[in-house]
Structure 1
Amino acid sequence: MSLPVHLVPSLDAAAVGAAVTVEGDEAHHAVAVRRLRVGEQVVLTDGRGRSVVGEVTSTGKRVFDVTVLSAEQAPEPGPSLTVVQALPKGDRGELAVEVLTEVGVARVVPWAASRSVAVWKGERATKSLARWRSTAREAAKQARRSWHPVVDPMASTDEVVELLRGADLAVVLHEDATEPLAGLDVPAAGHVVVVVGPEGGVSADELAAFAAAGARAVRLGDEVLRTSTAGLAACSALLARTPRWS
């Protein structure tokens, strides 16, 4: 059985034999919900590549202490994948973030596309972004990732254009594209960006702006996927052509 994984702010000083204290909601869930006990072993990670295996030495209401038994620094996976995810309606945004995290995406950028049904404004924007970030955090622990994804604040189309300019490979999923995603040469390192449009599709103006920034319009196949699952399919197809999945 795999050891439970818990996220901590930092493990910079966590050498073998050192003590690490886990506090707050993370500790409350472990102690009060999962019934963590002294003597059990856990995995702690800071989400930036550092992880340790340790033994629980004490527990409290919202705290527990761990003695480090082993420590590891994992290299950041390459190529790095960023998904620009148009805002879906309902709770499909959290679904998209969950599966993208599980597949190994490094960054998720919520995008206010012109045809997005959902609108993030004011308090709703704050709460929606918090839900996406919470979903990414929990999914990363479930997937046992040493490097956790970053969920950016909502981006405008102009901000997405600037992001595409710096990519080693940038693609826009589009049902009318003639170039298949499966035919692309994927870099073994660097930065790959995938743009996923909303339920109503990417507009002609957006597509033109993205193309001018160097993005290529590609199709996955004859089937039209939901916006919440298209990114997963595209990233899986891309990763299968890199050393990460070979």
Structure 2
Amino acid sequence: MTRPLFFGSSEAVRAAAPGALFVLDGDEGRHAATVRRLGTGERIDVSDGSGYRIGGVISAVGPGTVEVEVETAGQDPAPQHRLVLVQALAKGGRDEQAVESATELGVDAVVPWHAERSIVRWRGDKAEKGRQKWVSLVGAASKQSRRSFVPEVHAVLDTSGLAAWASTVDRLVVLHEDAESSLADQVSELRAAGALDVPSSTAVVVGPEGGISEAELGKLRAVGAGAARLGPHVLRSSSAGPAALVLLNHLLGRW
């Protein structure tokens, strides 16, 4: 069974060498000591959220604190191929379901997207509040899935902003039911061409409940995006991104 994972400050976690004592306090310490009721002799991991992980055995538990005798410390390797989910805002919490599942499946970053047909809108103060809610969501999902890397959550983008942002990744793939080729076939073509022999980044774009408009697809195609289908069925906004990530994890050798 994998060990429970908690998060600590980068400075403190990276300063903890094998043989040292590390004190987990704050919200994470209270969660470990009070909610999880962990006791002495149990082993846990602590990460800084950027891939640095320490592991050790609990030597003492206090009111809201856990003291750990550090046994191991080091940087977990980052995947060669970086995966990003561009998730359209969607009603009924389907966007949040997608982000949570994507985090558990290993996504490296998430971009909230104000699509033309998005019913949910993050405007004004709601934009940062919405982003912070997703930040909390990916943090909790990372802890649950024992991930030492917490995905970055970008600021919300409209379609023009997304088109400008596209230059930050090697390829932008729009999931679309009318695409001529499948995502699996496109990855196979990239592999045959040697494009996957070097580190790369792929962003998958998922539309809202009403789909992606032709105007939006045209704007994204104009900056080099391609369209791909997953299979014979149309998936919900909550499941399309995670399904694509499962496929990409396998095809790119991340799993």
Name the TM-score, length of structure 2 as normaliser.
0.90
User: What is the distance in 1 between the residues matched to 2:34 and 2:138?
Assistant: 23
Aligned position for 1:80 = 82
Shift of 1:62: 2.6
Range 127-136 or range 41-50, more displaced: 127-136
Q: Is the 8 Å Cα contact of residues 56 and 64 (structure 1) preserved in structure 2?
A: yes
What's the RMSD between the two structures over aligned residues? 1.6
Partner-residue secondary structure (3-state), 1:95: helix
Aligned position for 2:53 = 51
Once the two structures are superposed, residues 83-136 of structure 1 have per-residue CA deviations (whole angstroms, 9 ceiling, x without a partner) of 110001122222111110111110000011111011112444343322211111
Counterpart of 2:212 (choices 198, 202, 205) is: 202
Once the two structures are superposed, residues 170-220 of structure 1 have per-residue CA deviations (whole angstroms, 9 ceiling, x without a partner) of 200111111211111353521111111111111122111110111101111
The alignment-based identity, stated in percent, is 44
User: What is the distance in 2 between the residues matched to 1:5 and 1:183?
Assistant: 37
Shift of 1:50: 0.9
**Higher helix fraction (1 or 2):** 2
Structure 2 unmatched runs, 5+: 191-195
Aligned position for 2:251 = 241
User: What is the distance in 2 between the residues matched to 1:204 and 1:181?
Assistant: 19
Shift of 1:79: 0.3
Q: Is the 8 Å Cα contact of residues 94 and 131 (structure 1) preserved in structure 2?
A: no
Counterpart of 2:242 (choices 215, 232, 235) is: 232
Aligned position for 2:24 = 22
Partner-residue secondary structure (3-state), 1:90: helix
User: What is the distance in 2 between the residues matched to 1:18 and 1:155?
Assistant: 44
User: What is the distance in 2 between the residues matched to 1:20 and 1:160?
Assistant: 42
Change (3 A) 1:166 1:131: closer
Letter paired with 2:137: T
Aligned position for 2:9 = 9
Name the TM-score, length of structure 1 as normaliser.
0.93
Aligned position for 2:175 = 173
User: What is the distance in 2 between the residues matched to 1:207 and 1:85?
Assistant: 15
Q: Is the 8 Å Cα contact of residues 5 and 42 (structure 1) preserved in structure 2?
A: yes
Letter paired with 1:226: R
Partner-residue secondary structure (3-state), 2:205: strand
Structure 1 residue ranges (4+ consecutive) displaced by more than 3 angstroms after TM superposition = 122-127
Range 108-117 or range 132-141, more displaced: 132-141
Range 54-63 or range 41-50, more displaced: 54-63
Letter paired with 1:215: A
2:226 paired with 1:216: yes
Shift of 1:80: 0.2
Letter paired with 2:3: L
User: What is the distance in 1 between the residues matched to 2:35 and 2:166?
Assistant: 43
Counterpart of 1:136 (choices 114, 131, 138) is: 138
Structure 1 unmatched runs, 5+: none
Partner-residue secondary structure (3-state), 1:179: coil
The count of residues paired between Structure 1 and Structure 2 equals 245
User: What is the distance in 1 between the residues matched to 2:246 and 2:2?
Assistant: 25
